[in-house]
A = this chain, B = another copy of it.
Protein backbone atom coordinates (compact mmCIF):
# COMPACT_ATOMS: atom_id res chain seq x y z
CA UNK A 1 0.00 0.00 0.00
CA UNK A 2 1.39 3.40 -1.02
CA UNK A 3 -0.11 5.10 2.04
CA UNK A 4 1.72 2.72 4.39
CA UNK A 5 5.03 3.28 2.62
CA UNK A 6 4.50 7.05 2.79
CA UNK A 7 3.57 7.01 6.50
CA UNK A 8 6.70 4.97 7.23
CA UNK A 9 8.88 7.67 5.69
CA UNK A 10 7.21 10.90 6.90
CA UNK A 11 9.08 12.17 9.98
CA UNK A 12 7.39 13.57 13.07
CA UNK A 13 9.22 16.68 14.29
CA UNK A 14 8.05 17.73 17.76
CA UNK A 15 7.66 21.44 18.63
CA UNK A 16 8.02 22.80 15.08
CA UNK A 17 7.31 25.56 14.20
CA UNK A 18 5.95 26.18 17.73
CA UNK A 19 6.02 24.25 21.03
CA UNK A 20 3.25 21.65 21.19
CA UNK A 21 2.95 21.16 17.43
CA UNK A 22 4.12 17.91 15.86
CA UNK A 23 5.23 18.79 12.35
CA UNK A 24 4.88 16.19 9.59
CA UNK A 25 8.11 16.40 7.58
CA UNK A 26 7.64 15.20 4.01
CA UNK A 27 11.19 15.94 2.82
CA UNK A 28 12.40 12.33 3.36
CA UNK A 29 9.97 11.20 0.63
CA UNK A 30 12.41 12.74 -1.86
CA UNK A 31 15.36 10.72 -0.59
CA UNK A 32 13.83 7.58 -2.13
CA UNK A 33 13.45 8.16 -5.87
CA UNK A 34 11.30 5.04 -6.35
CA UNK A 35 8.89 6.14 -3.65
CA UNK A 36 8.71 9.69 -4.98
CA UNK A 37 7.96 8.24 -8.42
CA UNK A 38 5.18 6.03 -7.01
CA UNK A 39 3.66 9.08 -5.28
CA UNK A 40 3.85 11.19 -8.45
CA UNK A 41 2.27 8.42 -10.51
CA UNK A 42 -0.55 8.14 -8.00
CA UNK A 43 -1.21 11.90 -8.19
CA UNK A 44 -1.05 11.78 -11.99
CA UNK A 45 -3.55 8.92 -12.19
CA UNK A 46 -5.94 10.87 -9.95
CA UNK A 47 -5.58 14.06 -12.01
CA UNK A 48 -5.96 12.21 -15.33
CA UNK A 49 -9.19 10.55 -14.16
CA UNK A 50 -10.67 14.04 -13.66
CA UNK A 51 -9.49 15.49 -16.99
CA UNK A 52 -7.37 18.11 -15.27
CA UNK A 53 -5.63 20.37 -17.78
CA UNK A 54 -3.65 22.72 -15.53
CA UNK A 55 -1.89 22.41 -12.16
CA UNK A 56 -1.53 25.21 -9.62
CA UNK A 57 1.16 24.48 -7.02
CA UNK A 58 1.26 26.36 -3.73
CA UNK A 59 4.60 27.75 -2.47
CA UNK A 60 6.90 26.14 -1.75
CA UNK A 61 6.37 22.49 -0.85
CA UNK A 62 3.58 22.35 -3.44
CA UNK A 63 6.28 22.88 -6.08
CA UNK A 64 8.06 19.64 -5.14
CA UNK A 65 5.54 17.22 -6.65
CA UNK A 66 3.58 19.89 -8.55
CA UNK A 67 6.00 20.31 -11.44
CA UNK A 68 6.45 16.53 -11.76
CA UNK A 69 2.68 15.94 -11.93
CA UNK A 70 2.27 18.69 -14.55
CA UNK A 71 5.09 17.39 -16.71
CA UNK A 72 3.83 13.81 -16.58
CA UNK A 73 0.31 14.97 -17.46
CA UNK A 74 1.64 17.31 -20.15
CA UNK A 75 -0.21 20.36 -18.81
CA UNK A 76 0.81 23.87 -17.66
CA UNK A 77 2.12 24.39 -14.12
CA UNK A 78 1.27 27.74 -12.53
CA UNK A 79 2.97 28.91 -9.33
CA UNK A 80 0.93 30.30 -6.45
CA UNK A 81 3.22 32.30 -4.17
CA UNK A 82 3.11 34.54 -1.14
CA UNK A 83 2.66 38.25 -1.88
CA UNK A 84 5.70 39.95 -3.38
CA UNK A 85 7.49 36.83 -4.63
CA UNK A 86 6.21 36.74 -8.22
CA UNK A 87 7.92 39.35 -10.38
CA UNK A 88 5.21 40.00 -13.00
CA UNK A 89 1.70 41.48 -12.85
CA UNK A 90 -0.35 39.35 -10.49
CA UNK A 91 -3.85 38.67 -9.28
CA UNK A 92 -4.06 38.39 -5.49
CA UNK A 93 -6.35 36.98 -2.82
CA UNK A 94 -6.18 37.77 0.90
CA UNK A 95 -7.47 35.57 3.68
CA UNK A 96 -7.62 35.56 7.46
CA UNK A 97 -5.24 33.62 9.64
CA UNK A 98 -5.53 32.92 13.36
CA UNK A 99 -3.60 36.18 13.94
CA UNK A 100 -3.60 38.66 11.06
CA UNK A 101 -3.98 37.81 7.38
CA UNK A 102 -2.07 36.50 4.39
CA UNK A 103 -2.12 37.20 0.66
CA UNK A 104 -1.27 34.79 -2.15
CA UNK A 105 -0.73 35.64 -5.79
CA UNK A 106 -0.64 34.13 -9.27
CA UNK A 107 0.75 35.73 -12.43
CA UNK A 108 -2.05 37.43 -14.36
CA UNK A 109 -2.86 35.69 -17.63
CA UNK A 110 -0.72 32.58 -17.09
CA UNK A 111 -3.56 30.20 -16.24
CA UNK A 112 -5.50 29.65 -19.49
CA UNK A 113 -9.13 30.75 -18.96
CA UNK A 114 -11.60 27.89 -18.71
CA UNK A 115 -9.00 25.42 -17.41
CA UNK A 116 -9.94 22.46 -15.23
CA UNK A 117 -7.42 23.04 -12.46
CA UNK A 118 -5.84 20.77 -9.88
CA UNK A 119 -4.65 22.72 -6.83
CA UNK A 120 -1.73 20.85 -5.30
CA UNK A 121 0.02 21.32 -1.96
CA UNK A 122 1.90 19.07 0.45
CA UNK A 123 -0.49 19.31 3.38
CA UNK A 124 -4.15 20.09 4.10
CA UNK A 125 -4.54 21.58 7.58
CA UNK A 126 -7.37 24.07 8.23
CA UNK A 127 -7.74 24.69 4.49
CA UNK A 128 -7.28 28.47 4.55
CA UNK A 129 -4.55 28.59 1.91
CA UNK A 130 -6.24 25.98 -0.31
CA UNK A 131 -9.53 27.91 -0.27
CA UNK A 132 -7.64 31.11 -1.14
CA UNK A 133 -5.94 29.26 -4.02
CA UNK A 134 -9.37 28.15 -5.25
CA UNK A 135 -10.60 31.75 -5.16
CA UNK A 136 -7.57 32.79 -7.23
CA UNK A 137 -8.36 30.10 -9.80
CA UNK A 138 -11.94 31.39 -10.08
CA UNK A 139 -10.72 35.01 -10.33
CA UNK A 140 -8.58 33.82 -13.26
CA UNK A 141 -11.69 32.50 -15.03
CA UNK A 142 -11.11 28.80 -14.43
CA UNK A 143 -12.67 25.96 -12.51
CA UNK A 144 -11.27 23.95 -9.59
CA UNK A 145 -11.53 20.32 -10.72
CA UNK A 146 -9.72 18.89 -7.68
CA UNK A 147 -7.36 19.41 -4.77
CA UNK A 148 -4.54 17.01 -3.99
CA UNK A 149 -2.28 16.77 -0.95
CA UNK A 150 0.24 14.29 0.37
CA UNK A 151 -1.22 14.65 3.88
CA UNK A 152 -4.66 15.49 5.24
CA UNK A 153 -4.73 16.45 8.93
CA UNK A 154 -8.32 15.27 9.12
CA UNK A 155 -8.92 16.39 12.73
CA UNK A 156 -8.68 20.02 11.49
CA UNK A 157 -11.64 19.53 9.10
CA UNK A 158 -10.04 21.41 6.20
CA UNK A 159 -11.81 19.09 3.76
CA UNK A 160 -15.20 20.55 4.71
CA UNK A 161 -14.14 24.03 3.57
CA UNK A 162 -12.79 22.75 0.27
CA UNK A 163 -16.01 20.95 -0.59
CA UNK A 164 -17.62 24.31 -1.35
CA UNK A 165 -15.35 24.32 -4.40
CA UNK A 166 -15.28 20.64 -5.38
CA UNK A 167 -15.93 17.25 -3.83
CA UNK A 168 -12.68 16.00 -5.34
CA UNK A 169 -10.30 16.33 -2.40
CA UNK A 170 -7.53 13.76 -2.67
CA UNK A 171 -4.79 12.85 -0.23
CA UNK A 172 -2.36 9.95 0.10
CA UNK A 173 -2.23 9.74 3.90
CA UNK A 174 -4.45 11.03 6.67
CA UNK A 175 -3.86 11.64 10.38
The residues of B that contact A59 with a CB separation of less than 8 Å are 60
State A65–B60 Cα separation when bound (angstroms): 13
- For A110, the closest partner residue in chain B by CB is B31
Instruction: Report A60-79 CB contacts with B as 1/0, cut-off 8 Å.
Output: 10011101101101111111
| SS of A interface (majority) | mixed
Q: Is there contact, CB below 8 Å, between A76 and B32? A: yes
Instruction: Report A66-102 CB contacts with B as 1/0, cut-off 8 Å.
Output: 0110110111111100000011100000000000000
The contact size tier of chain A is: 35 or more
Residues of A within 8 A of B (CB): 11, 13, 16-17, 23, 25, 27-28, 30-34, 36-37, 40, 59-60, 63-65, 67-68, 70-71, 73-79, 86-88, 107, 110
